[in-house]
Structure 1
Amino acid sequence: MHLAQKTRDPVQITAVALKAYARVAEAWGLGLREAAALADMSESTWKRARKPGFAGELTKDQLLRLSAVIGIYKSLELYFAEPLARGWFTRPNSGPLFGGSRPVDTAIEGGLPQILAIRTYLDALRGGA
């Protein structure tokens, strides 16, 4: 059987996404409230979800959010040196998407469209566009 023919296990995908997202949230120093809101979860769900063995399911929106946030993290790590890469998301930013607010706050407020816009913005910077 080819790898492409294997079905993806949603439980495994969720576990990997949550583990990676938890590492990003920790690296950025996000508090419980910020990490939960960014993932579009209640604080109690985020507390359970970040522990190994979480048996809950995530919505497609939540999985897309986690994927996009992980992509933002990767872009920052590639584009900026330390400590800017780790602090960029939580520092006020005068860029066109942020208007002096912290990117994390605009991402929480704007939801998935803003998270995707931030990812696109960073990818454009990284690509030299």
Structure 2
Amino acid sequence: MLEEIPRTVAAPDSPQITAAEAEAMVRAVLRLFERWQVSDAEAREILGGLAPRTYARWKAGAPGRIDRDLATRLSLLMGIHKGLRFLFSDPERGYAWVKKPNLAFGGRTPVEIMAQGDIFSLARVRSYLDAERGGW
């Protein structure tokens, strides 16, 4: 006999990113930066001008408290990664894409755009990838 599986609630009880989720995103983003071959200086700018000491703690596995701005940046980076995985069947091509000049960004690389430091630059790259994969 068939049994109905309970549906996932469309609106979660907690719309906030939990500390555990933020820490998991930190670990994922650090691995992503390695795959993208992003320098520590570029990574800190992408993360909104994170202090070198704080970034070193992140890399040592102690991210500490993640504020709303950082959580949003981490979420945008996860969305960029997801978009690249949808667009490229070969993950290595997706990882390489962020370092290639792109006419949509005035001939600059996506990493250069993201490393401008403002959250809108991250959103710009995310929106571009969403549009490319038909996410509008």
Please say if 1:18 is aligned against 2:26.
yes
Look at both structures and tell me which one has the larger radius of gyration over its CA atoms: 2
> Quick one: distance in 1 between partners of 2:78 and 2:110?
14
Of 38, 44, 57, the residue aligned with 1:36 is 44
The aligned counterpart of 2:96 is 87
Unaligned segments of structure 2, at least 5 residues: 1-7
| Superposition RMSD in Å | 2.5
> Quick one: distance in 2 between partners of 1:90 and 1:79?
16
The residue matched to 2:38 in structure 1 has which SS? Answer: coil
Runs of 4+ aligned structure 1 residues displaced above 2 Å come to: 2-11, 81-84
Counterpart of 2:71, as a letter, is L
Unaligned segments of structure 1, at least 5 residues: none
Using structure 2 for the length normalisation, give the TM-score.
0.79
Report the count of equivalent residues.
125
Structure having the higher helix fraction is 1
- What pairs with 1:42-121 in structure 2 (closer than 5 Å)? 42-52=51-61, 54=62, 56-82=64-90, 83-95=92-104, 98-109=105-116, 111-121=118-128
Using structure 1 for the length normalisation, give the TM-score.
0.83
| % identical aligned pairs | 28
Counterpart of 2:26, as a letter, is L
